[in-house]
């Protein structure tokens, strides 16, 4: 008797948690794009591995992208600066790990197929190098700061 009540309830519970990240985080994500060092007004194009393209007309700016389509290239340009780009990888969301424990293979498959299992960084920073420098010392200081910032991100 208990089995006829327990099995349907357990099955319903598993179906509710299947695709947990799809429900809790969704398949899209808003990303803020900023350009350093004190460079505002750059135009940035974001292109994912599957060819999805988004545009930030002027940095700093935000754009909503699809998740789950692999690494994304962020290419920025602005007058007076060299064109610059950055490759951004996705990471696995925390909800996906919970789904592995609670929802099993079905939930993970739903999250992976929808893109909800992945997440880009919330803020992407692209460093813009001036076309001309006042001095060699100024350029060296800029490069050192860029290197130190990137090492802090790793």
Query: What is the pTM assigned to this prediction?
Result: 0.66
Range of the domain at 67: 16-153
- Asked if the structure places residue 83 within a domain, the reply is yes
Give the integer Cα–Cα distance in Å for 61 and 55.
9
4 domain residue, yes or no: no
Does 77 fall in a domain? yes
Task: Give residue-wise pLDDT tens across range 128-144.
Answer: 999 999 999 999 999 99
Angle ∠(35,153,96) on CA atoms, nearest 5: 105
How many C-beta neighbours within 10 Å does residue 81 have? 18
Structural domain total, the chain: 1
Q: pLDDT digit string (tens) for 7-23?
A: 555 444 444 444 444 44
Task: Give domain status of residue 63, yes or no.
Answer: yes
Q: What is the DSSP string of 90-142?
A: -EE-HHHHHHHHHTHHHHHHHHHHHTTTEE--SEEEEE--BSS-S-HHHHHHH
Report the CATH number that the domain containing residue 138 is assigned in CATH: 2.60.40
- Does 138 fall in a domain? yes
CA angle, residues 37, 40, 41, in degrees to nearest 5:
145
DSSP state of 20: H
Which 8-state DSSP code applies to residue 57? S
Do the domain assignments include residue 9? no
Instruction: Write the pLDDT tens digit of every residue in 103-123.
Output: 554 444 444 444 456 899 999
106 in any annotated domain: yes
Q: Let me know if residue 86 belongs to a domain.
A: yes
Closest CA to 82 of 138, 137, 37, 31: 37
DSSP state, residue 84: E
């Amino acid at each position: 008797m208990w089995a006829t009540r327990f099995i349907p309830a357990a099955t319903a519970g598993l179906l509710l948690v299947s695709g947990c990240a799809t429900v809790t985080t969704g398949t899209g994500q808003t990303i803020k794009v900023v350009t350093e060092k004190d460079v505002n007004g750059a135009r940035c194009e974001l292109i994912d591995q599957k060819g999805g393209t988004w545009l930030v007309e002027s940095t700093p700016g935000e754009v909503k992208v699809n998740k789950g389509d692999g690494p994304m290239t962020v290419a920025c340009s602005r007058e007076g600066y060299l064109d610059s780009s950055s490759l951004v990888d996705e990471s696995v969301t925390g909800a996906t790990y919970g789904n592995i424990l609670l929802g099993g293979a079905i939930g993970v498959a739903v999250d992976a197929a929808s893109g909800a299992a992945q997440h880009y960084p919330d803020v992407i920073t692209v460093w813009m190098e001036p076309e001309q420098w006042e001095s060699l010392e100024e350029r060296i200081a800029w490069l050192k700061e860029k290197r130190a910032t990137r090492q802090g991100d790793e």
